[in-house]
A and B are shown apart, each in its own frame.
Chain A
Amino acid sequence: MADAFRHTYIPRSWKEIVGYARALWAVVLGYIPRSWSDVVDFALILWVIRVPVCALAVGFALLCLVPQAQDLLVELIEYSWHVVFFLALVFFIWASTTHYTARLLLDTDERFRARVAERSSDFIENWEIFLSRLLGALTFVAVLLSAERSIENLPVIDDPYIVPYVSRMLRWFQLVTLATLGIFIWYMLSRNALSALQPVRNLESKTGFVRRFLRRIGIEPRLNSNNLGPLMLFVVFMLCAGILLLSPVWIARWFPRSLAVPLLLGAWVPFLSLLSDMGRHYRAPVIAGAAVAVAILSFLFGDNHSVRRVNAAQILGRQPDSAEMSLNRAVDLWMSANSCKEDPAKCPRPIIIAAAGGASRAGFFTASIIGLRKRTPALILPR
């Protein structure tokens, strides 16, 4: 029955429709846990692919719960090439790595393969294929939800044109994201067919070093024989290593704001997945061990935080006066500057500015108001 469902055909009678529905139900049944062993199998799959699952969870939390991250999309849609670049980064850096690392982890985990062979159930075999595809597709769903939240966040302002315009552009962005998700699903379903194409096979033959490298570190893909997927992970891993070596300020210039989000979410996935695979292989907490090792190395060799210290005495040419100024002294100085020390009744009204917090937005508005006062002294109350 399930095989019949997989072949596309148009039912011509009620009998065929019932048969079609039964075939569909048989497929659905293959994904529903019907015993405690099925639940354990599902939990085991999630544990094996815990790194891409956690990366996806962090992505959902960032894009769906943090308004600042959602608002980045408003700026993104101003330039169409930014949208294309952003979706390409989501496709290759976050979605593809999430999907392929999950696939690779499940393919290469000896204990999981033994469990699959031992159980020989549709449930575990269906979910091990479907879940990695679902994780990859959900990265685009996170972007879609973020765009929806971004539309909800748009403020109510007097301008009757800008908010509807931005809202409309965000809807277009959602459509383009949906189309990219469609391409990604097609890619996931057609990976084997694509790898049989001659240009891809030619490329494969030139990237055999990837397979040799994976064999050397003990994680050669067991089922799929192509090199391009591992090559993609290797490139993302090298990108991550490059970001570690370069200054964050430089990277921020190349991937500003929203373009940095796929990097932040996807670049660590290949390396951490490798550590989690080693942890399963050696039955040891390798990721936690790596975190402890980093802490110990930082303790032994110091960190590379570049805190700049200014030698004030050298700059001033004298010892700086760091004593706290009294209020009376401050008032005296202010009156001297306003030439009214002799007759305080002639002093103008003092200006005292109090600025509240609110991150860079508070900084912008504080500076803006001070600038406005300097630009337009008439706004200052007369004495």
Chain B
Amino acid sequence: MTKRLFAISGVSGGSVGAAVAAAAMARTKSGEQPCVERQPSLWYGDTIGNWRDCLEALTADDFLTPVSIGLVFRDIVRFG
């Protein structure tokens, strides 16, 4: 599939997913999925067995809480 892939185009969140997939594919030479985390806490599956599991686990993290806390606390008092 990687050889036949000509282009990925994305906007906003879609481009994040595309960038994660591209980075993961660039990480491996053998064609095996590169994820080493066996029990991702926020992904619905139990173990990562294939590429789909790997890419889902990578994009199923909590991206909102640190940003919200940073916005309400550190970004308000941001000098220093």
Q: Do A and B come from one complex?
A: yes
- A-to-B contact residues, CB < 8 Å: 68, 240, 243-244, 248-249, 251-252, 255-257, 260, 263-264, 267-268, 294, 297-298, 300-305, 330-331, 334, 337-338, 348-368, 370-375, 377, 380
Contacting pair A298 B7 (CB below 8 A): no
CB of B36 to closest CB in A, whole Å: 16
Asked whether A240 and B73 contact (CB < 8 A) given A298-B79, A357-B11, A370-B55, the answer is yes
Q: How far is the CA of A351 from the CA of B13 in the complex (A)?
A: 20
Q: How far is the CA of A349 from the CA of B4 in the complex (A)?
A: 7
Asked whether A294 and B79 contact (CB < 8 A) given A252-B62, A255-B65, A360-B63, the answer is yes
Does B47 have its Cβ within 8 Å of any Cβ on chain A? no
Could you tell me the dominant secondary structure of chain A's interface residues?
Answer: helix
Q: Return chain A residues, CB-CB under 8 Å to B68.
A: 260, 264
Number of A-B contacts (CB under 8 A): 186
Asked whether A362 and B17 contact (CB < 8 A) given A244-B73, A371-B55, A380-B1, the answer is yes
CB of B11 to closest CB in A, whole Å: 5
Contacting pair A353 B1 (CB below 8 A): no
Contacting pair A360 B69 (CB below 8 A): no
Q: How far is the CA of A377 from the CA of B52 in the complex (A)?
A: 12
Q: Return chain A residues, CB-CB under 8 Å to B73.
A: 240, 243-244, 248, 251, 267
Against A, the Cβ 8 Å flags (1 = close, 0 = not) of B49-67 are 0111111101110111111
CB of A366 to closest CB in B, whole Å: 3
Q: Return chain A residues, CB-CB under 8 Å to B74.
A: 244, 248, 304
How many B residues, CB 8 Å from partner? 50
Does B26 have its Cβ within 8 Å of any Cβ on chain A? no
Q: How far is the CA of A361 from the CA of B53 in the complex (A)?
A: 15
CB of B62 to closest CB in A, whole Å: 6
Q: Return chain B residues, CB-CB under 8 Å to A367.
A: 17-18, 20-21, 55-56, 58-59
Contacting pair A351 B5 (CB below 8 A): yes
Q: Return chain A residues, CB-CB under 8 Å to B50.
A: 371, 374-375
Q: Return chain A residues, CB-CB under 8 Å to B17.
A: 355, 362-368, 370
Contacting pair B3 A337 (CB below 8 A): yes
Q: How far is the CA of A305 from the CA of B78 in the complex (A)?
A: 7
CB of B47 to closest CB in A, whole Å: 14
Q: How far is the CA of A178 from the CA of B55 in the complex (A)?
A: 41
> A251 — nearest CB in chain B belongs to which residue?
B69
Contacting pair A371 B64 (CB below 8 A): no
If A359-B12, A366-B13 are given as contacts, then 12 extra A-B residue pairs at C-beta distance below 8 Å, sorted by A number, are A260-B69, A263-B69, A264-B68, A330-B6, A338-B4, A352-B8, A355-B8, A355-B10, A363-B13, A363-B17, A366-B16, A367-B59
Contacting pair B69 A362 (CB below 8 A): no
CB of B77 to closest CB in A, whole Å: 6
Q: How far is the CA of A371 from the CA of B25 in the complex (A)?
A: 10
Cβ 8 A contact of B51, one of A305, A364, A375? A375
Does B9 have its Cβ within 8 Å of any Cβ on chain A? yes
Q: How far is the CA of A18 from the CA of B62 in the complex (A)?
A: 60
Q: Return chain A residues, CB-CB under 8 Å to B54.
A: 371
Contacting pair B18 A355 (CB below 8 A): yes
Contacting pair B9 A355 (CB below 8 A): yes
CB of B25 to closest CB in A, whole Å: 8
Of the listed residues A300, A352, A357, A371, the one surrounded by the most CB atoms of chain B closer than 10 A to its CB is: A371
15 A-B interface contacts by CB (under 8 A): A243-B69, A243-B73, A251-B66, A264-B72, A304-B80, A350-B4, A352-B7, A355-B13, A355-B14, A360-B16, A360-B64, A366-B14, A366-B16, A368-B55, A370-B8
